[in-house]
Amino acid sequence: MRALNEKICREGIYLGDGILKVDSFLNHQVDPALMDCCGRELADSFRTNRPQLILTAEISGIAPALLAGLHLEIPVVYARKHRPITMAHDVYFATAPSHTKGGNVSLLVSSEFLVTGQRVLVIDDFLASGATILALTRLVKAAGAQLVGIGVVIEKTFEEGRRLLTPLGVPIVALAKVTSMVDGRILLEDS
């Protein structure tokens, strides 16, 4: 996706230790026009898989998931990191290590919003180690729902998270693929 690749090259900042800062358009401030393009592209990539629900992780996955949901005309559920008092007693729970947060992150989804038999598309902001997305797929499995695909805005191919997810047997789509981050340079596939 050309617009996304250009934005990453122009505004992305390599912070070292494998961390790509894209706060100016995805992880803190959100570029609505770009997210709309990303959402449309993800929706078009998975339309034939007939998802009934999108599942993402709080908070950075919400923008691309919401726009994909808009274009697919299906609801979006995000796994919460903390349980609010309003969340039903029956929840699905998984944990995942977070490189940027430094430790494990809890992911919780109410059983009233993730149900047996649903066709679920998982969307997130990044695919790096694959740990967060794998945790989201464990929630889908715990609910007895069917995983139909995985979509991400940015994949860091050098972290090889895709290899962890490939055995799930569903399509995996990344809108931008970062192949290397060395000496302050961000290299993208097809750029």
Residue numbers of the domain that contains 61: 2-188
* C-alpha to C-alpha distance for 81 and 118, rounded to whole angstroms: 22
Angle at which helix 32-46 crosses helix 2-11, to 10 degrees, equals: 140
Q: What does each C-alpha distance from 30 to 34, 160, 179, 188 come to in angstroms?
A: 8, 26, 23, 21
Higher-confidence residue: 70 or 83? 70
* pTM exceeds 0.75 for this model: yes
Who's near 178: CB < 8 A, 6+ residues apart? 8, 20, 154, 155, 156, 157, 158, 186, 187, 188, 189
Domain of 62: which CATH number? 3.40.50.2020
Q: What is the pLDDT of residues 153-165, one digit of tens each?
A: 999 999 999 999 9
Domain count of the fold of the chain: 1
Q: Give yes or no for a contact between 1 and 64, defined as CB atoms under 8 angstroms apart.
A: no
Q: What is the pLDDT of residues 91-129, one digit of tens each?
A: 999 999 876 667 899 999 999 999 999 999 999 999 999
Q: What is the pLDDT confidence band of residue 89, given thresholds at 50, 70 and 90?
A: confident
> Considering Cα of 34, then 66, then 160, then 14, what sign does the dihedral take?
positive
The residue behind tokens 């097809």 is 190
Angle at which helix 62-72 crosses helix 32-46, to 10 degrees, equals: 60
* C-alpha to C-alpha distance for 146 and 55, rounded to whole angstroms: 12
